[in-house]
Structure 1
Amino acid sequence: MRIALCVKKDIHGLLAARILAERLQFADLRFFCSVKTRDAENAVPALKIMKLLERDVAIDTFATLETGFGQVPHPDEWTPLLDLKADGGARQLLDFRPDLVISARFSLIFPQRVIDAVPRGIINVHPGALPGYRGLFAPFWQILKREPVLGCTVHMVDRGIDTGPILGIARVPFDPSRSLMAHTAALYRGGVTIAAEAAATIARGGTPAGTRQPEGGHYYRFPAPEDLAALPVPIVNAQDFAEVLSAAFPPREPAAAVRWSAAA
């Protein structure tokens, strides 16, 4: 079975890729990534910090220093998709002839021609409880709205945005002592696990049970500066960043103890 994994080239995308690669060893995998930077990420100070840590530091700095990622190709070897135009990114993706696509933290919208061309469909890992939190920055909006439990919805992709049948929802209790980054990482960890289980069902010839989304819902966009200022937790802190880095860059073998001696 050929599975295309579409992620974002950032720390959460790397974490998702690691989990999926470990759980989908039965499949022929190809890694694709979005590299899009939206204007707000360079204009709003809090979003600039997130981009700095999630991409510039984690991927452009730390990942370049790594020589091996185990079952996951080095992020520099992922195929970047700048768009999903018929003569551009869509052709690059479909030239792989995937039986199934799994999208996790991918920044591009799949056009209908791509959806129709993938025989077993496209599974999307959306870090928000659907249908209430469609669109962008779902973990942020769930925290800002004081949700006691955050959701990450795994669903099939249809012609709408975050509107397809639901395969499962991973739930993460809100922890006021943790940052937005920590909650986001936890949501993706739960979501990609459900997506991998659905892919395994498909590989065995089955069809994952999907539930039609309820009517209604809300679509969110990037938060404004005043929204970010009202967030009840920090967007990141040193401890949470270190924890997410550790998950994305696990040690390959036990580290040797460092011996220190006093200078003569």
Structure 2
Amino acid sequence: MRIAICVKKDIYGLLAARILAAALGFAQLRFFCSVKTRDAENAVPALRLMKLLEREVAIDALAAQQPEMPGVPHPDHWVPLPDLRADGGARTLLDFRPDIVISARFSLIFPQRVIDAVPRGIVNVHPGMLPGYRGLFAPFWQILHKEPELGCTVHLVDRGIDTGPILGVARVPFHPARSLMWHTAALYRGGVGIAAGAAASLARGTPPEAHRQPAAGDYYRFPSAEDFAALPVRISDPLDYAALLEEAFAPPLLAARDRAA
């Protein structure tokens, strides 16, 4: 059984990779990563700050100083996918011949030719409640809209964007004292756990129960500087960020002990 793990090369991608590596040890895993940076990420100061914390500090600086990471392949060993063109990233991914693909914090849209080539399906972890929060930056928009409970939806990938049948939802109560990064990590933590269970069921040949989404829904894009000014929580704070770094970088047994404490 071959499972391709598609993540983003950032702190949440590392967290997702660690959870999946621990849960899917029965399979042959290969880790792929998107490396795309959209223009908006450099145009809005708050988005530049998030890129700094999530990628440049966590991965480019800190991970670079840690040559090995027990329990998960080092991000430097993830296979970069700059695109999913037939003669580019799609070929690189499909050369692995994955039976299942898990997408979590992945920046690229899977074209139909890739969906058709994965026999047991592509499972996506979307950090928003579907169908109401399709698209980009779902944790941000859920907080901005003062949702009392945030959702992370795990679904099968179809030809639409965040429109496939739903396998499960992880729910996180909104905490006004915690940061956007804290909420985002909590959403991925819960959703990735559901995705791991779904992949295990697919590997056994017993597909998990799936529920079709309504066609109607809302699609969101990158927030503007004005949107960030209206956000009722901080982007990050030192304690939230330090805890997230520790969870992503700690050896598996230490991370599990700290979560149970």
Structure 1 residues 253 and 24: alpha-carbon distance in aligned structure 2, compared to 1, 3 A threshold:
closer
Residues 102-152 of structure 1, C-alpha deviation per residue, up to 9 Å, x if partnerless?
000000000000000000010000000000000000000000000000000
TM-score between the two structures when normalised by the length of structure 1: 0.95
Q: Distance in 1 between matches of 2:71 and 2:90?
A: 25
What amino acid sits opposite 1:34 in the alignment?
S
Answering whether residue 157 of structure 2 is matched by residue 157 of structure 1, we say yes
What amino acid sits opposite 2:82 in the alignment?
L
- Partner of 2:236, secondary structure, is coil
* RMSD of aligned Cα (Å): 1.1
For structure 1, the residue ranges without an aligned partner over 5 or more in a row are 255-264
Answering whether residue 30 of structure 2 is matched by residue 63 of structure 1, we say no
Over alpha carbons, which structure has the higher Rg?
A: 1
Deviation at 1:47, TM superposition (A): 0.5
- Partner of 1:63, secondary structure, is helix
Deviation at 1:253, TM superposition (A): 8.3
Q: Distance in 1 between matches of 2:50 and 2:176?
A: 19
- Partner of 1:5, secondary structure, is strand
Q: Distance in 2 between matches of 1:106 and 1:215?
A: 23
Answering whether residue 69 of structure 2 is matched by residue 85 of structure 1, we say no
Q: Distance in 2 between matches of 1:253 and 1:134?
A: 35
Deviation at 1:207, TM superposition (A): 0.8
Answering whether residue 177 of structure 2 is matched by residue 181 of structure 1, we say no
What amino acid sits opposite 1:124 in the alignment?
N
Deviation at 1:251, TM superposition (A): 4.7
What amino acid sits opposite 1:140 in the alignment?
F
Residues 173-208 of structure 1, C-alpha deviation per residue, up to 9 Å, x if partnerless?
000000000000000000000000001111111111
Q: Distance in 2 between matches of 1:120 and 1:234?
A: 40
- Partner of 1:217, secondary structure, is coil
Q: Distance in 2 between matches of 1:70 and 1:241?
A: 21
Aligned residue pairs: how many? 254
Q: Distance in 1 between matches of 2:197 and 2:142?
A: 25
- Partner of 1:163, secondary structure, is coil
Structure 1 residues 206 and 253: alpha-carbon distance in aligned structure 2, compared to 1, 3 A threshold:
closer
Structure 2 match to 1:135: 135
Residues 68-113 of structure 1, C-alpha deviation per residue, up to 9 Å, x if partnerless?
1123111001000000000000000000000000000000000000
Instruction: Report sequence identity in percent.
Output: 75
Structure 1 consecutive aligned stretches of length 4 or more whose deviation exceeds 6 Å: none
- Partner of 1:38, secondary structure, is coil
Structure 2 match to 1:31: 31
What amino acid sits opposite 1:102 in the alignment?
I
For structure 2, the residue ranges without an aligned partner over 5 or more in a row are 255-261
- Partner of 1:191, secondary structure, is helix
What amino acid sits opposite 1:171 in the alignment?
R
TM-score between the two structures when normalised by the length of structure 2: 0.96
Q: Distance in 1 between matches of 2:122 and 2:183?
A: 25
Q: Distance in 2 between matches of 1:72 and 1:91?
A: 24
Q: Distance in 2 between matches of 1:18 and 1:28?
A: 15
Answering whether residue 72 of structure 2 is matched by residue 72 of structure 1, we say yes
What amino acid sits opposite 1:145 in the alignment?
H
- Partner of 2:184, secondary structure, is helix
Q: Higher helix share goes to which structure?
A: 2
**Maintained 8 Å contact 2:70/2:251:** no
Deviation at 1:215, TM superposition (A): 3.2
Structure 1 residues 197 and 252: alpha-carbon distance in aligned structure 2, compared to 1, 3 A threshold:
closer
